[in-house]
């Protein structure tokens, strides 16, 4: 973010010159110099307004510059005298270049203000375009405007800024009021001159790195927005060769799409990291995860992503040759134990882990954290352990490692909840870790007695994943020491696209963190080199066992990669190198795009409807700029088979109506075939501020079939054989009598077909109203004096029509702003009709077949079959349109073309459907018209998907999130298809559809209620979608639910045997965040129930609750675990209700809970029960009455019976049973 600093004189807001801040503070200009005039280092005159400052002529390297000689240190002083200041009319002006040490600078001024009433002055990096990518430079500088009459009124301002590629200027938008500068006696302008002084000192500049591959041998990964956490982890895993080799061995198919295959996408990334010379994209991988654009801009925890990715890869590797690789590399085992102090009883339970989370707060080193991890906890007093037959006993509870993995991943817990601010806070305290980690230390105190004594647990540090920033945002990078012996002791920093070699001290000591708590706002990164509290610290460590390094550093040769993948990637690499070579040599070549009649015929009626051709689809020829037009024609003869003497090349021009047409022959401007290609100037589209460098030329090749090859050039002695008094040469060109000319000076016949002055070069299209097709017939050379009667025979001949066929002829005029076709009439000549070279004639036969108004319809069965295969149908194909309803006149036809759109229909997925946002199948493609009404659209969708149109409900597409909008479109809620496709001023081609059980119009008159049905064990067994009248009561809704579920309890009265209504044996509850907030009354209307933000649950009422006594209490039971260090309770899982009688002791309640949850004895033994009231826990003795502990009135949900778990639920089984423990959006890989 931009810093707010104070100068010595008055406050100043620092920003770039593109800033629009309106305060009296320092600002900056461009942030990017792309639109500024490039700095011509050898031409001072283009930069300086007024006389040059006193300076010598210096040479820096091989570049000759005008300005002061570079000083010996990083400090510089410069005086800019701006003459004729009050007469300057330019928007902005630059000073000459000056230096502070090797650093080039210049001043930038807006004499009339940068959109403000002040003179704006900035310090600009003069050599920014020549510096390496991602360059940075921190400098302190001051700017001073001298007052010639009163030095005390001289205006001075100071700033400190980190100049970089995206913000290469900085200064003061509101520097000197224009009123003061222009006042006659203010003293700032004397004899027309304004003088500005600048002091600048570069205080910090990191090493500039131009080529990561060249400097380090490694390349980086591109950041898609907020995927730095993923890039850091992928680099870490890629540099474990055993892991990379296992990924290569995952089976993939040649026809697989990497955007739908995680193994293939990961293989491609790993291969490119080995063989590419530039940074690698991860877009295919994130798409294979089922992520969209919004997911890539969402920051996540790297440890959480690591767990999800490893779980997904472990799942994908099942049944393959590399099954078990993830567990072999990362899985360890630990033993949780409870050992009684006074009796011989011990309980043990083994668990697997993939990483270890260590507490940072309060620990100085990683060994201190491991000591705390295995430290025993004493269970005594009210917290005694239930030792089965021995009853309550004092005990010691702890955990030790039974087996450690070859790759040990250590997560450092650097975030905690701050009760003072009620926010998460990052712990940046210093936490040291060694390069060699010995977990056999202390007489193997971290290991169990039955751990393998022959396994040496000495680990070497492989990677340090660093988080910089605060709890609300930040940035990840990774320091890594590769396993290869030749790189031993060398550390590298992988920061997205940049890879640099760093000092080992930076990788380790630089990642320990600070003693000071440094909470930095998101996006503001404090450099490692700067003073002050550090915002960056190690967040995850990866150690490798020393004895396993040889195995982990296995050879990964190219032959382990699937041949089809290797061949495909090699082809892509060759193509990439070819394009790179073309880019590098672009200044030596001109790309000639040559359209021919055959290319136009291919495109018209398919890719192109209006105008002539798409120039990106025509043949391209790379021609050296020094080659001549004659050389190029010879190339065309070789490549296209058109003899040189039959070639007439036309230049294209942009017209004011936004059309691009051939305008005049190339020979008109360049009659000499010896003209170099570099001299040909292509017509540029109107509007750009700076014309682009000529790198391509568009031409049309007309083949003049009746052109005769020129005769051989006569020898000088043969010139006398020609008619010396002829008025024209053999080719019709006027000439003076040769007898009066020097034979050696005679201009011989031109080598191109000539064009008469009255000729008009026209393109001809034909519209067949019967088949609804458009075709290109060729070109026609007409005359300016021709009328329709002269033109018609040629048109009939081109189409092969008989002489008596009547024609309707139009000129194509405009298409973008409006559809404009002008009829060609008999009463005007072509010249009077303003036809010119490159115009298009389109005609159809008469009479026009009868047809209705434009009313495009939906796809047919054949069209849907094409859509399933992913092939879009022809936008105007007869299979896609009702031929009886098409507009048949040419203008109407093109109006339909302009409004035609192929809509991609995706089936809308709900959260419970298991997909991310979209179904993983190709969309149904339907050709529609943007002018279609809502009813026409749903009719088209209904026909395309095979359902009644009235049952279709549509949802619009959000172009920014690439997701469906949250609310569907109401019945006739929009007027046209264009409105359906437009969102936030952007238009897409995507719609989502649902097929409802009842008509949408009827649905909107009812209330939809989503209810989760739970069995007696609190497991969700079914999700019901009820559609009820809005006045329906909860009791009636329960009756409907009763018909759709299987009940476990009897539904008859135990005394009378009569059937019970649903309201007597079932109930409906409202839940949120693992808490029950309400039990609905049976007579409450369902229109008052909100199932969008609250979870609505229905369940059976246990038999004992159906006959509650007056003193019985219905209490809420919740699962929870504690964070002891911060005394915080976390609820999770599914809560439930339980009847507590007056005389129920804790032992009775415990037994009933176990009967309901059906836990194993080992699991249930770890649970403790207590009453929680406003966050305070009261534990209960086994013989104590539970009812007596509830002091709040009947029906309150403020206090509840809590089931305390020893820790947060983990593992798939625990998550399935107890549910998620957080409401934050988790990382999900949908594949």
Q: Catalytic site residues?
A: 228, 475
Closest among 462, 464, 401 to 432, alpha carbons compared:
464
- Spatial neighbors of 152 by CB under 8 A, at least 6 apart, are none
Instruction: Return d(Cα 1118, Cα 1157) in angstroms, integer.
Output: 12
CB 208 within 8 Å of CB 135: yes
- Spatial neighbors of 467 by CB under 8 A, at least 6 apart, are 302, 414, 426, 474, 475, 476, 536, 537, 539
DSSP category for residue 1193: P
User: What element of type H or E holds 1024?
Assistant: strand 1020-1028
Q: Label each residue of 306-368 as H, E or C.
A: HHHHHHHHHHHCCCCCCCCHHHHHHCEEEEEEEEECCCCCEEEEEEEECCEEEECCCCCEHHH
CB 302 within 8 Å of CB 465: yes
- N-term to C-term CA, the chain: 37
The number of CA neighbours under 13 Å toward the Cβ of 1149 is 31
Instruction: Return d(Cα 828, Cα 320) in angstroms, integer.
Output: 78
Q: Cα dihedral sign for 619, 625, 627, 630? A: positive
Q: Label each residue of 1115-1168 as H, E or C.
A: EEEEEEEEEHHHCEEEEEEEEEEEEECCCCEHHHHHHHHHHHHCCCHHHHHCCE
The number of CA neighbours under 13 Å toward the Cβ of 366 is 27
Q: By CB neighbour count within 10 A (0-12 exposed, 13-18 middle, 19+ buried), where does 735 fall?
A: middle
Q: Distance of alpha carbon 387 from its chain centroid, rounded?
A: 56
Burial 620-652 (b: 16+ CB within 10 A, else e): ebebeeebbbeebbeebeeeeebebbbbbbbbb
Helix axes 228-238, 302-316, angle to 10 degrees: 50
- Spatial neighbors of 712 by CB under 8 A, at least 6 apart, are none
Pairing of strands 189-190, 193-204: antiparallel
Q: Which residues of 659-714 form beta strands (DSSP E)?
A: 660-665, 696-703
Number of Cβ atoms within 10 Å of the Cβ of 1118 = 19
Closest among 778, 772, 823 to 799, alpha carbons compared:
778
- Spatial neighbors of 1002 by CB under 8 A, at least 6 apart, are none
Closest among 683, 646, 678, 680 to 666, alpha carbons compared:
680
Bridge partners of 1136, per DSSP, are: 1117
CB 1218 within 8 Å of CB 1134: yes
Distances from the Cα of 89 to the Cα of 93, 968, 972, 1066, angstroms: 10, 55, 57, 83
- Spatial neighbors of 1210 by CB under 8 A, at least 6 apart, are none
φ, ψ (nearest 5 deg) of residue 959: -70, -20
CB 335 within 8 Å of CB 400: yes
φ, ψ (nearest 5 deg) of residue 1219: 85, 175
- Spatial neighbors of 519 by CB under 8 A, at least 6 apart, are 425, 426, 428, 470, 471, 535
Number of Cβ atoms within 10 Å of the Cβ of 80 = 24
């Amino acid at each position: 973010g931009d810093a707010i600093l104070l100068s010595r004189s008055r406050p100043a807001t620092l920003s770039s010159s593109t800033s629009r801040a309106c305060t009296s503070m320092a600002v900056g200009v461009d942030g990017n110099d792309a639109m500024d005039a490039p700095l011509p280092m050898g031409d001072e005159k283009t930069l300086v307004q007024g006389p040059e400052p006193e300076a010598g002529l210096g040479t820096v390297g091989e570049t000759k510059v005008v300005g002061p000689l570079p000083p010996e240190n990083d400090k510089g002083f410069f005086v800019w005298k701006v003459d004729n200041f009050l007469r300057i009319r330019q928007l902005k002006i630059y000073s000459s270049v000056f230096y502070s040490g090797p650093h080039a600078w210049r001043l930038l001024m807006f004499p009339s203000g940068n959109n403000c009433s002040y003179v704006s002055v900035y310090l600009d990096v003069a050599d920014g375009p020549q510096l390496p990518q991602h360059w940075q430079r921190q400098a302190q500088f001051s700017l001073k405007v001298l007052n010639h009459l009163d030095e005390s009124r001289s205006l001075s301002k100071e700033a400190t800024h980190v100049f970089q590629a995206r913000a290469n200027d900085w200064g003061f938008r509101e520097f000197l009021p224009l009123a003061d500068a222009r006042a006659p006696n203010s003293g700032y302008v004397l004899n027309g001159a304004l003088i500005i002084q600048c002091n600048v000192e570069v205080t910090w500049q990191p090493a500039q790195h131009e080529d990561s591959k060249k400097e380090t041998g490694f390349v980086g990964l591109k950041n898609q927005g907020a995927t730095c956490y993923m890039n850091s982890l992928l680099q870490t895993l890629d540099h474990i060769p055993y892991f990379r080799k296992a990924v290569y061995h995952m089976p993939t198919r040649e026809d697989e799409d990497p955007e739908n295959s995680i193994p293939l996408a990961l293989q491609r990334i790993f291969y490119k990291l080995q063989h590419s010379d530039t940074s690698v994209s991860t877009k295919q991988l994130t798409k294979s995860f089922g992520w969209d654009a919004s997911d890539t801009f969402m920051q996540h925890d790297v440890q959480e992503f690591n767990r999800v990715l490893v779980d997904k890869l472990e799942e994908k590797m099942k049944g393959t040759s590399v099954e078990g690789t993830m567990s072999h590399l990362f899985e360890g085992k630990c033993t949780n134990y409870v050992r009684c102090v006074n009796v011989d009883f011990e309980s043990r339970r083994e668990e697997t882990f993939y990483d270890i989370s260590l507490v940072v707060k309060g620990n100085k080193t990683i060994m201190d954290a491991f000591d705390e991890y295995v430290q025993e906890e004493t269970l005594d007093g009210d917290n005694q352990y239930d030792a089965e037959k021995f009853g309550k006993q004092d005990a010691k509870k702890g955990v030790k490692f039974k087996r450690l993995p070859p790759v040990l991943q250590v997560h450092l817990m650097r975030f905690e909840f701050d009760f003072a601010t009620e926010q998460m806070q990052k712990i940046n305290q210093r936490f040291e870790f060694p390069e060699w980690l010995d977990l056999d230390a202390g007489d193997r105190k971290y290991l169990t007695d039955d751990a393998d004594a022959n396994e040496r647990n000495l680990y070497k540090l492989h990677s340090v994943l660093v988080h910089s920033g605060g709890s609300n945002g930040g940035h990840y990078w990774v320091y890594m020491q590769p396993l290869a012996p030749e790189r031993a002791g060398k550390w590298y920093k992988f920061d997205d696209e940049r890879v640099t070699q760093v000092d080992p001290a930076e990788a380790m000591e630089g990642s320990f963190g600070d003693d000071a708590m440094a909470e930095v706002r998101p996006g503001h990164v404090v450099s490692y080199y700067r003073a002050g509290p550090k915002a960056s610290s190690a967040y995850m460590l990866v150690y490798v066992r020393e004895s396993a390094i040889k195995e982990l550093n296995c050879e990964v040769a190219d032959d382990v990669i699937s041949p089809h993948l290797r061949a495909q990637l090699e082809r892509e690499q060759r193509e990439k190198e070819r394009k790179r070579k073309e880019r590098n040599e672009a200044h030596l070549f001109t790309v000639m795009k040559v359209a021919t009649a055959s290319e136009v015929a291919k495109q018209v009626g398919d890719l192109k409807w209006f105008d002539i051709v798409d120039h990106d689809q025509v043949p391209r020829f790379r021609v050296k700029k020094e080659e001549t037009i004659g050389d190029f024609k010879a190339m065309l003869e070789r490549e296209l088979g058109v003899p040189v003497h039959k070639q007439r090349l036309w230049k294209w021009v942009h017209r004011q109506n936004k059309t691009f047409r051939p305008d005049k022959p190339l020979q008109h401007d360049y009659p000499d075939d010896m003209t170099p290609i570099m001299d040909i100037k292509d017509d540029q589209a109107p509007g750009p501020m700076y014309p682009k460098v000529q790198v391509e030329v568009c031409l049309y090749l007309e083949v003049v079939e009746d052109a005769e090859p020129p005769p051989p050039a006569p020898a000088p002695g043969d010139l006398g054989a020609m008619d010396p008094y002829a008025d024209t040469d053999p080719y019709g060109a006027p000439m003076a009598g040769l007898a009066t000319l020097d034979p050696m000076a005679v201009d011989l016949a031109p080598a191109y077909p000539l064009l008469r002055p009255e000729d008009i070069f026209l393109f001809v299209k034909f519209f067949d109203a019967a088949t609804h097709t458009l075709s290109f017939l060729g070109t026609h050379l007409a005359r300016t004096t021709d009328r329709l009667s002269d033109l018609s025979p040629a048109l009939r001949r081109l189409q092969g029509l008989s002489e008596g066929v009547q024609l309707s002829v139009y000129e194509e005029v405009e298409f973008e702003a409006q559809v404009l076709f002008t009829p060609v009439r008999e009463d005007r000549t072509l010249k009077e009709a303003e036809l010119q070279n490159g115009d298009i004639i389109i005609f159809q036969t008469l009479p026009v077949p009868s047809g209705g108004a434009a009313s495009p319809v939906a796809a047919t069965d054949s069209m849907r079959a094409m859509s399933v295969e992913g092939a879009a149908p022809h936008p105007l194909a007869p299979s896609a349109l009702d031929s009886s309803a098409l507009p048949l006149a040419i203008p109407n036809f093109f109006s339909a073309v302009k409004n035609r759109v192929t809509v991609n229909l995706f089936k809308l997925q709900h959260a419970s459907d298991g997909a991310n946002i979209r179904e993983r199948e190709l969309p149904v493609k339907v050709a529609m018209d943007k002018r279609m009404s809502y009813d026409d659209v749903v009719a088209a969708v209904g026909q395309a998907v095979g359902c009644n149109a009235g049952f279709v409900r549509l949802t619009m597409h959000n172009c920014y999130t690439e997701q469906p909008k949250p609310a569907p479109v109401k019945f006739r809620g929009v007027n046209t298809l264009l409105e359906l496709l437009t969102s936030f001023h952007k238009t897409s081609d995507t719609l989502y559809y649902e097929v409802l059980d009842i008509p949408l119009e009827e649905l909107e008159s009812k209330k939809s209620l989503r209810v989760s049905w739970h069995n007696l064990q609190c497991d969700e067994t079914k999700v019901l979608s009820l559609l009820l009248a809005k006045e329906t009561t909860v009791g009636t809704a329960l009756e409907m639910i009763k018909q759709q579920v299987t009940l476990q309890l009897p539904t008859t009265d135990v005394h009378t045997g009569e059937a019970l209504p649903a309201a007597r044996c079932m109930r409906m509850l409202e839940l949120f965040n693992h808490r029950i907030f309400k039990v609905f009354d049976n007579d409450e209307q369902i229109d008052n129930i909100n199932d969008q933000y609250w979870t609505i649950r229905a369940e059976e009422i246990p038999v004992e609750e159906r006959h509650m006594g007056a003193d019985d209490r219905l209490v809420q039971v919740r699962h929870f675990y504690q964070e002891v260090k911060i005394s915080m309770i976390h609820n999770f899982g599914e809560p439930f209700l339980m009847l507590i009688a007056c005389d129920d002791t804790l032992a009775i309640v415990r037994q009933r809970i176990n009967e309901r949850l059906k836990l194993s004895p080992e699991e249930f033994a770890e649970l403790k029960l207590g009453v929680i009231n406003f966050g305070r826990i009261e534990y209960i003795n086994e013989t104590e009455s539970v009812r007596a502990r509830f002091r709040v009135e009947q029906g309150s949900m403020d206090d509840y019976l809590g089931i305390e778990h020893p820790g947060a639920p983990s593992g798939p089984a625990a998550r399935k049973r107890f549910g998620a423990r957080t409401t934050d959006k988790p990382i999900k890989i949908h594949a």
